Copies of this chain bind each other. A is one copy, B any other.
Amino acid sequence: MPIDNSNMLKVIEEFPQQCKTGLELPKGMSVSGKIDKIVVAGMGGSAVGGDLLKLYMHDSKVPVFVVRDYKVPNFVDDKTLFFAVSYSGNTEETLAAFGDAERKKARIVAVTSGGQLGTKAKKVVRIPTGLQPRAALGYLFFPVLGVLQNSGIADVKNEEIKEMLDILSNLNEFKNIGERIAKKIGTRTPLIYASEAIGAVAYRWKTQFNENSKIAAFHHLFSEMNHNEIVGFQTMSGEKFLPIFIRDNFDNERIKKRMDITKEIISSKMEVEEVSTKGTYLLSRLFSGLYYADFASYYLALANKIDPTPVAVIENLKKRLR
């Protein structure tokens, strides 16, 4: 029998609803006054939320920085909008970065289910508790977007939210493709590739395979991989590795051509798997692109008789760090 003791599948299936709720959670919360930089501090799933925001805000005049560290860059100041994102509210790196941002007089908004961050921060978007942080991406990303929207910094259109939710609600399609990819991977190490424009999607795939399936998985981006990683394929075996390309219809035409040629080159050595993002808005394409990975990593865990939910080594590590 498959092992899913904590019903991870149910949580994954409820992801579209989680995104919708996440956007509503900040209610009217906003920041006023001049903001010339946005910093998102977090680790793991929280940091991926920051990476996604950076991609989403690519047209903005306000740069977005993602911090996965104990400290924040020295240019953080009172015109910096600083998001401290930690599901538990007790992530030590994020708490330290939060303290550093406070000292540097940043305007701070915390996104957390509670913990020390929930107590220390003055402005908090409180998100539901009881999930694995990686399974709470909707609650970690959309409140940040909501606050930016309320503050007039982001311009999120109703149509893009609607398109995204419509697409994500086609559960069966994501499930089927996820299951197909899990089978295809088998005992191989997946290598996930996407363009810079949707790069966080590839990283999310990698981390979902790491945490849900408990396997090695790596990622790299186009076209940077054409300048180094591609050379390694000369000695790589298709028994060990499965490259997976995440295609996006809106990718630069040269990137598309690079992906085509790279696929041809690699295909002479090993199988290459492909999936495509869905939708016309970037938000839909990012979230459809990454939603496949939830199912693929879930079904791969089950195929390997591994319970996708517990991450014992992380818990063990945290204990030993005290």
Closest Cβ of chain B to A303, distance in Å, is 12
How many residues of chain A are within 8 Å of chain B by beta carbon? 66
Q: Are B63 and A230 in contact (CB under 8 A)?
A: no
Chain A, 193-230, contact with B by CB distance < 8 Å: what is the 0/1 string? Answer: 00011000000001101110011111001011011111
Q: Which residues of B contact A257 (CB under 8 A)?
A: 321
Query: With A and B bound together, what is the CA distance between A311 and B210 in angstroms?
Result: 31
Is A232 in the interface zone, CB < 8 Å from B? yes
**Is A240 close to B, CB under 8 A?**
yes
Answer whether residue A23 sits at the interface, using C-beta atoms and an 8 A cutoff. Answer: no
For the complex, what is the distance from the CA of A134 to the CA of B227, rounded to whole Å?
10
B contact residues around A63 at 8 Å (CB): 37, 63, 65, 73, 75
For the complex, is A1 an interface residue (Cβ under 8 Å from B)?
no
Whether, in the assembled complex, A241 has its beta carbon less than 8 Å from a beta carbon of chain B, the answer is yes
A128 at the B interface (CB under 8 A): no
A10 near B: Cβ within 8 Å? Answer: no
The number of times this chain is found in the oligomer is 2
Residues of B contacting A316 in the complex (Cβ-Cβ under 8 angstroms): 265
Cα A60 to Cα B75 in complex, Å, equals 7
Q: For the complex, give the distance between the alpha carbons of A20 and B183 in Å.
A: 53
Q: Is A265 within 8 A of B232, CB to CB?
A: no
| Interface status of A254 (Cβ within 8 A of chain B) | yes
Q: Cβ of B262 and Cβ of A317 under 8 Å apart?
A: yes
Interface pair A211/B228, CB less than 8 Å apart: yes
| A280 and B13 alpha carbons, distance in the complex (Å) | 51
Distance (whole angstroms) from the CB of A293 to the closest CB of chain B: 12
21 A-B residue pairs with Cβ-Cβ distance under 8 Å, sorted by A, are A44-B224, A44-B227, A44-B228, A60-B74, A61-B74, A71-B252, A206-B228, A210-B230, A210-B231, A211-B228, A214-B232, A215-B235, A216-B233, A217-B232, A226-B314, A227-B314, A230-B317, A233-B313, A257-B321, A261-B317, A265-B316
Q: Which A residues fall within an 8 A CB radius of B?
A: 37, 43-44, 47, 58-63, 65, 68-71, 73-75, 92-93, 134, 196-197, 206-207, 209-211, 214-218, 221, 223-224, 226-236, 240-241, 252, 254-255, 257-258, 261-262, 265, 304, 306, 311, 313-314, 316-317, 320-321
